[in-house]
Structure 1
Amino acid sequence: MRVSVEKDAESLSRKRRPTREVKAKQIAYMFVLPAFLFFLVIVAYPLVSVIWDSFHDKNLLNTGDGRFVGLANYVEVIRSEYFVQAFVNTGIWTIVSVAGEYILGIVAALALAQRIRGRAIFRGIIIIPWIVPVVVAGLTWTWMLTPDYGVLNSWLVKLGLLDEPYYFLGEPDTALLSIIIVNIWRSFPFYTITLLAALQSIPRDIYEAAALDGIGPVGRFFKITLPQLKSVSIVLIMIHIIWTAINFDFIWVMTEGGPVHSSETLPIMIYRFAMQELNIGLASALASLMLAFMIIGFMMYYLYIQRKSGNRGGM
């Protein structure tokens, strides 16, 4: 009887002891907890605060107010005089910048992947635009594009491409395009480095087999290189769509959204609401709208990919 009682007590104590798997999970939770707290403080709380403020009349000039106004802030933002123009500018700024960065990045990556003399030096030089601070790059290009003493204007006039200096950043027709070109110049090295690393992971045997089959360089690029870079390219493009759409500093440094709001994007509009008009409610509403636009866009893309993969599976 005593032996059975001791066995029962021992089995009960074993059940109460945490197993190795439970201990591993507890340790894993302990390691994840700081990151989770960091996420709550840095990301989740500000995001919830912005969404909360978007439904309230919150103005720094009238701190005693703050009543719930429902969708009034959203309606006022959409009816704003420059909302449509800023929305269109944001689309143009994002699409053209990302497309230009990718095209220039993959061309540079293909060039740097060739066995040429001084390849290591060129690979080191190509990263310089990316590491230059945005403010330094923006102010430098602003100076270069100035009609009075800008280097680019001087060169273009001497080459006969311009009859007289042109104020690229001061004309509504060219201001946004000029900033886009500068943004492409600064951002394409990131694409180049990433795509170059992906190019080096493609087996050379595939290219050799394609060459033996009579496929030329252009055919090898579209039939081998691009498909092999598809996963990396999608990640790069998605990340840069987000980065470019919410970009504020480059445009603000070079034109501040001018002239006549011709280069104003939604982030610039948010800044005006928050820091110039001190209307946190409108700024939060516009920020929430931008978040909604991005979520809808990525959901549509996800559904498109799912439907496309489903059709392939059905075939």
Structure 2
Amino acid sequence: IVMSFKELTQFYIRDWGTAPWSGIDNYKLSVDFNGPVGESLLHSFFVTVGFTLLSVGLCWAIGTTAAIYLQDTFRGRGLLRAVFLIPYALPVYAAVITWAFMFQHDNGLVNHVLHDQLHLTDQPSFWLIGDNSFYALLTVSVWKGWPFAFLIVMAGLQNIPRELYEAAALDGAGMWQQIRRITLPSLRPVNQVLVLVLFLWTFNDFNTPYVLFGKSAPEAADLISVHIYQSSFVTWNFGTGSAMSVLLLLFLLVVTGVYLLLTSRGRKTADV
């Protein structure tokens, strides 16, 4: 926080205490959306919001579907459960760098399957630059994030009494009716915490875009975490980068507070 009020550039890197105070100039520069710094930060913010909403939604949907599917007992369920958790267990760097090789233009597995085998594209696509970089980043994020949702939802399903499903089946309720009337309402407290955790993790994700694209992410995949890193360690303007970090912290605190307030009101209404 103190750094955000200083004119902290590469000239003061050896002695940060001697950097002159700039007041709120760094904050003015960050929120001046007509200037290049504020405009690029605003673009990065909107990219991050869209990316986060899509990633969280897909992670929750895939994880919940997989957990409900594995709720029934069948042969090989334990093995399938272990396979589903592999992306979550792998080190982030190793997993993302593998995806980076798979997204290569000339000899990547993704283009080999989509273009050479399935003939879904006219020519091999560039996945790590341009507009496609957003979809590449989203794919990797969902791939490594949905097993966490699967694990949490699967644990929540264990607390739902089997008698509820048996009684619903006797009353003639089908699978979809049981999911809609029993499973999802019973999972509401679990999902409220799960969605918040996924949102915070995804919004602050730095490792995935940094390993996938390097120091300079494409404009379509310029997440705010990497953008702040570039402002601090690439352009050597630590004061502005610190101001952006404080603004990000305040935004997440507001979002978290509003979310917790709304969910707590929802629980009170449901109890009544």
TM-score, normalised on structure 2? Answer: 0.90
Q: Deviations over 1:21-46 (max 9, x none)?
A: xxxxxxxxxxxxxxxxxxxxxxxxxx
For residue 217 of structure 2, what is the aligned residue in structure 1? 258
Give the superposition deviation at 1:255.
1.8
Is the contact made by 1:55 and 1:70 (CA closer than 8 Å) also made in structure 2?
Answer: yes
Greater C-alpha radius of gyration: 1
**Structure 1 residues 168-179: aligned runs within 5 Å:** 168-171=127-130, 173-179=131-137
Match of 2:165?
207
How far 1:60 moved relative to its partner? 3.5
* Deviation of 1:232 (Å): 1.2
Unaligned residue ranges in structure 1 (runs of 5+): 1-50
Alignment partner of 2:119 out of 140, 152, 160: 160
Q: Aligned partner of 1:104: which letter?
A: I
Q: Contact (CA 8 Å) 1:57, 1:65: kept in 2 or not? A: no
CA apart distance, 1:273: 1.9
1:182 aligned to 2:140?
A: yes
Residue number in structure 1 paired with 2:197: 239
Alignment check: 8 A CA contact 1:58 1:65 kept: no
Residue equivalent to 1:59: 9
Look up the SS of the partner of 1:164 in the other structure. Answer: coil
Provide the residue aligned with 2:80 in structure 1: 122
Q: Does 1:77 align with 2:35?
A: no
Once the two structures are TM-superposed, the CA of residue 167 in structure 1 deviates from its matched residue by 1.0
Alpha-carbon distance in 1 for matches of 2:119, 2:230: 40
Name the CA distance, whole Å, in 2 between partners of 1:203 and 1:274. 52
Q: What is the aligned partner in structure 2 of residue 140 from structure 1?
A: 98
Classify 1:312/1:150 alpha carbon distance in 2 versus 1 (closer, same or farther; 3 Å). closer
Pairs within 5 Å for 1:260-279: 261-279=219-237
Structure 1 stretches of 4+ with a deviation exceeding 4 A read: 306-313
Structure 2 Cα separation of the partners of residues 309 and 156 of structure 1: 46
Kindly provide the CA deviation profile for residues 67-90 of structure 1, in whole angstroms up to 9, marking residues without a partner as x: 322211011122314111100011
Does the aligned pair in 1 maintain the 2:217–2:226 contact within 8 Å?
no
Measured in 2, the distance between the counterparts of 1:235 and 1:307 equals: 14
Letter in 1 for 2:7: D
Quick one: structure 1 residues 305 and 193, their matched pair in 2 at CA, closer, same or farther if it must change by over 3 Å?
closer
Q: How many residues align?
A: 262
Distance in 2, matches of 1:139 and 1:309, equals 42
- Once the two structures are aligned, what percentage of the paired residues are identical? 32
RMSD in angstroms over aligned alpha carbons? 1.9
Alignment of 1:41-56 (within 5 A): 51-56=1-6
1:8-27 deviation per Cα after TM superposition (whole angstroms, max 9, x unaligned)? xxxxxxxxxxxxxxxxxxxx
Structure 1 residues 154 and 305: alpha-carbon distance in aligned structure 2, compared to 1, 3 A threshold: closer
Alpha-carbon distance, 1:253 to partner = 1.2
